[in-house]
Structure 1
Amino acid sequence: MKNKAKQSGKIAKSAATVSIAVMCSRVLGLVREQIFAGMFGAGMAYDAFVVAFRIPNLLRDLFAEGALSAAFITVFTDYDTNRTREETWQLASNVLVFFGILLSLLTLVGIFFAEPLVNLLASDFSAIEGKTALTILLTSIMLPFLVVISLAAVVMGILNSKGKFFVPAMASAFFNLGSIVGGVSLAFILPKFGHPAIVGMAIGTLIGGTLQLMVQFPALLKCGFKFTPRLRIKDPGLKRIITLMIPAIIGLSPTQINIFINTNFASSCVEGSVSWLNYAFRLVQLPIGIFGVALAIAAMPVLAKHAAKKDINGMKETMVSSLTMVFSLTIPASIGLMILAEPIIHIIFERGAFTAFDTSATANALILYAIGLFAYSSNKILVPVFYALEDTKYPLFASFIAVGANILIITFTIEKFQHLAIALSTSCSMILNFLFLSVVLYIKTGGYSVSYLFKALGKIAASGAVMALLLLWSRSFLTAQLNGGLLQACIVLAAQIVVASTLYITLLHFMKLQELNSVTSKIRERFSR
């Protein structure tokens, strides 16, 4: 128990650091989405941008935030633990050179095949004149984003393995900052030269991605990194990373297939469906990033070190502690998003080209996405455990099960529920994925403390239920304030969230949930500094 407390404190400290940085990034991300909503609403231009960005983003999820990141951290941590300093930095340099070249070639191929890619992803766009052509143009502009963001992920992996979390987590805030400043500036300038304003936002994405990579360099040099511009294809460390990546890419590809299927279905729904789903999922990504991704980033090096030392018991304790923290943070977030969906969307997006109808459509999607929030975030913890164990076949099976469930649910519900069918199927498939991975890990590792998880879940559910009652009671008052001005509505919403969160944390504190106390104490420490 002492060891579990120590692990939770260590992960909570790193997660608190990452959460603060991710919070800055996600807030700037919301500002970026507000700008999109105000300038372009939920119509042709933003639909085209979402689909165009989805193509490099699908590949980014495979390389930057998926297979490459997890495989690199596993091997780099092993080198850092068991090899010389020189060998460790040579591996890092070789990986940067190899993937810089590989992804540049992949980007050129993507630009060449941009038209068939867009037609495959959103064939129904051709029904609206100029929509497919605009999407192809935006795709060609944004594809190089894949290169810079993947290299940024490698640099982030190095810094995380060295115990540096704040700078790499904060780097994504610079992506949003670059996208906002560069994109908005160009969106006002380019129409004067006959180009659509949305093209400026596409170029802004490249500016933001480059900033995300560059801002990490000073911290990397402080760690003693020495870049060697040399490509060694036969390097055993690089081979090991690629060996881990191949099954991991296959394992992650069903998730990307799901996104592809969802985008294809959404493009066949009424115009604006792609935009509504994207705005709603952006809001769900706020707690996913602050809680799920932050905890996964903090836990991954710890899991990798346990794996390098063959300490399976330590790995299981880390996983259970991390999952408990995820549950304690994402379940109340889901409750809040579901109950306050419409007021939140109204306050954040409803202005300019974004109408009251768009608010309603987006809010309904948000409610259904929020159902699977806990599972989506928990999978961010479970999948790296398989990578640390160098066993990637089970995430592959889980992903294919999720794809099958996704297709079935959408097929039977799309006609009646339109874009809402996609949000519902996403949550259901994520929950199924989570259940499968949890059971397999229990069998594979010889069992972990399920009783501890269920006791914690009972405390979380009880506290969440009380919080939900408070929010339901006060929701009607908030709805009445929406017509009283934006500032007034913001103040009332913020007050509701603060009071509900305080009640929830207080209840869990009295119930003595160790993990949440660890998180809150570390966040207090960080802010007090």
Structure 2
Amino acid sequence: MSENREITRAAGIVGAATMASRVLGLVRDMVTAGFFGAGMGADAFFVAFRIPNFFRRLFAEGSMTAAFIPVYTEYLHKGDEAEARRLLDLCFTLAGIILFIVTVAGVWGARGLVYLLAAGFSRDPEKAELAVMLTRWCFPYLFFIGLVALAMGILNARRHFFAPAFAPVLLNISMIGSTLALVWFIRPPILALAIGVLLGGVTQFLFQLPFLHRQGIRWRPRFDLRHPGLRRILLLMGPSIFGLAITQITILVNTQLASFLEGGTVSYLYYADRLVELPLGVFAVAVGTAVLPSLARLAAAGNREAYTESLFYGLRLTLFISIPAAVALVILREPIFRVLFQRGEFDPESTRHAARALLGYAMGLPFYSAVRVLVPGYYAAQDTVTPVKAGALALVA
């Protein structure tokens, strides 16, 4: 099977699973909007949920996966299965230790994190305290999703794409089910969503285990910081973390500024971002996820011509969808919000505000999509410095 056909097949699997996740995500957001609208509870929850997601994107699903897959794929390409398994054991052990420490620190320092991310909440002590409490419930999600991200990297490197792509569906099911089951009894009602987040992390982790076992993966605790493969992964993670931090800083700045504006602004930005994430996740992220293992194999084999061809094939595939999607979101932004969210606590004024936020996000969709494909190209070649330079220029601009 040619690499382009493999990329198309993998992107189709990831895209289909991601579509299911995004559709359920919209249902989740519709449930959230119906019960909580864009009020104090929703603002507090979205800040609380964003905090572990910031660390997830920075360390777990971002830099760790980007650094791990090329190095692990190189071991597999060489046929050194014993060393590949040893590398997995070392990565799981070190990741578990670090994630546990970060999780404990995050729960303990939740108050500081909330004020760092949403200083404007200090003007409303009740909202601030609610956000702190919700953060303490949501933060342990990071521990489980960090291990899930490593499991995803292993399975993707072994050309198994379904289980990693389907896992987010379980988060949405957990959040929807928790809300519908608990919102009537628990106080404050918004706590039902935070409990759903924690349950979602646990179920995603448990879901990966049978698929890892089928691949012959059995984790054994090992610790050796001198292992050359582990050291290469850690060295690659450094620039990657810095580059991803630049992107995440932009998101944090948006949330920080929104926290000083009228109530509901944080929620408007969240709902707009969720709509842009639908085409971004189904197409751009799917292609980027599918292209990384293929490019890593080609880079390990030194096949530069096929590497370049596959990279630009992925880019063309992504832009073919993302440009029309951006146009549709710009033109239909208000009708989309009216149909999907305008009910219960989410009123016509909320629709107008959220639609304005969507206008700005949608115009950047083709560019966000291109980045999701091009950056894995650099990671596959074990070049994590160039994306950092590009990200720094974007932040300054």
Report if TM-score (shorter chain) is over 0.5: yes
Asked if the contact 2:255–2:266 (Cα under 8 Å) also holds between the matched residues in 1, the reply is yes
Structure 1 residue 92 corresponds to structure 2 residue 88 = yes
Distance 1:312 1:112 in 2: 48
Q: 1:153 aligns with which of 149, 157, 162?
A: 149
Aligned equivalent of 2:304: 312
Structure 1 unaligned blocks of 5 or more: 406-529
Q: 1:183 Cα shift?
A: 3.8
Aligned equivalent of 1:173: 169
Structure 2 unaligned blocks of 5 or more: none
Give deviations 1:288-326, integer Å, cap 9, x for gaps. 100011001110001101111122221111111000001
Asked if the contact 2:171–2:196 (Cα under 8 Å) also holds between the matched residues in 1, the reply is no
Distance 1:389 1:59 in 2: 25
Structure 1 residue 370 corresponds to structure 2 residue 362 = yes
Distance 1:216 1:257 in 2: 30
Aligned equivalent of 1:102: 98
Q: Secondary structure at the match of 2:186?
A: helix
1:420-435 to 2 correspondences below 5 Å: none
Q: 1:139 Cα shift?
A: 1.0
Asked if the contact 1:107–1:144 (Cα under 8 Å) also holds between the matched residues in 2, the reply is yes
Aligned equivalent of 1:239: 231
Q: Which has the higher contact order (CA 8 A, sep 6+)?
A: 2
Q: Secondary structure at the match of 2:184?
A: helix
Q: Secondary structure at the match of 2:183?
A: helix
Structure 1 residue 277 corresponds to structure 2 residue 269 = yes
Query: Structure 1 runs of 4+ off > 3 angstroms?
Result: none
Structure 1 residue 54 corresponds to structure 2 residue 50 = yes
Q: 1:185 Cα shift?
A: 2.0
Which amino acid is the alignment partner of residue 276 of structure 2?
V
Which amino acid is the alignment partner of residue 163 of structure 1?
R
Q: 1:83 Cα shift?
A: 4.0
Q: 1:331 aligns with which of 287, 309, 323?
A: 323
Structure 1 residue 63 corresponds to structure 2 residue 59 = yes
Asked if the contact 2:114–2:131 (Cα under 8 Å) also holds between the matched residues in 1, the reply is yes
Aligned equivalent of 1:505: none
Aligned equivalent of 1:455: none
Distance 2:370 2:327 in 1: 16
Q: Secondary structure at the match of 1:233?
A: coil
Q: 1:92 Cα shift?
A: 1.2
Distance 2:90 2:121 in 1: 42
Aligned equivalent of 1:429: none
Aligned equivalent of 2:27: 31
Distance 1:285 1:112 in 2: 31
Distance 1:338 1:209 in 2: 33
Give deviations 1:51-83, integer Å, cap 9, x for gaps. 111111111001222100111111111111114
1:408-447 to 2 correspondences below 5 Å: none
Q: 1:374 Cα shift?
A: 0.9
Q: 1:359 Cα shift?
A: 0.8
Distance 1:209 1:183 in 2: 16
Q: Which of the two has higher C-alpha Rg? A: 1
1:339-378 to 2 correspondences below 5 Å: 339-378=331-370
Give deviations 1:471-524, integer Å, cap 9, x for gaps. xxxxxxxxxxxxxxxxxxxxxxxxxxxxxxxxxxxxxxxxxxxxxxxxxxxxxx
Distance 1:240 1:105 in 2: 22
Asked if the contact 1:293–1:377 (Cα under 8 Å) also holds between the matched residues in 2, the reply is yes
Q: 1:234 Cα shift?
A: 2.4
Distance 1:93 1:347 in 2: 48
Asked if the contact 1:183–1:202 (Cα under 8 Å) also holds between the matched residues in 2, the reply is no
Deviates more, 1:123-132 or 1:22-31: 123-132
Q: 1:188 aligns with which of 174, 184, 209?
A: 184
Deviates more, 1:282-291 or 1:387-396: 387-396
Asked if the contact 2:90–2:230 (Cα under 8 Å) also holds between the matched residues in 1, the reply is yes
Give deviations 1:254-282, integer Å, cap 9, x for gaps. 11111111111111111111100100110
1:153-302 to 2 correspondences below 5 Å: 153-191=149-187, 196-302=188-294
Please give the TM-score of this superposition, normalised by the length of structure 1: 0.73
1:446-485 to 2 correspondences below 5 Å: none
Q: 1:144 Cα shift?
A: 1.1
Q: Secondary structure at the match of 1:216?
A: helix
Please give the TM-score of this superposition, normalised by the length of structure 2: 0.97
Overall identity of the aligned pairs, in %: 43
Aligned equivalent of 1:385: 377
Q: 1:39 Cα shift?
A: 0.6
Which amino acid is the alignment partner of residue 161 of structure 2?
F
Give deviations 1:378-420, integer Å, cap 9, x for gaps. 1111111111222222211221222223xxxxxxxxxxxxxxx
Q: Secondary structure at the match of 1:188?
A: coil
Asked if the contact 2:92–2:219 (Cα under 8 Å) also holds between the matched residues in 1, the reply is no
Q: 1:17 Cα shift?
A: 1.0
1:518-529 to 2 correspondences below 5 Å: none
Aligned equivalent of 1:477: none
Distance 1:179 1:84 in 2: 41
Q: 1:238 Cα shift?
A: 1.4
Distance 2:315 2:67 in 1: 21
Asked if the contact 2:96–2:147 (Cα under 8 Å) also holds between the matched residues in 1, the reply is yes
Aligned equivalent of 1:438: none
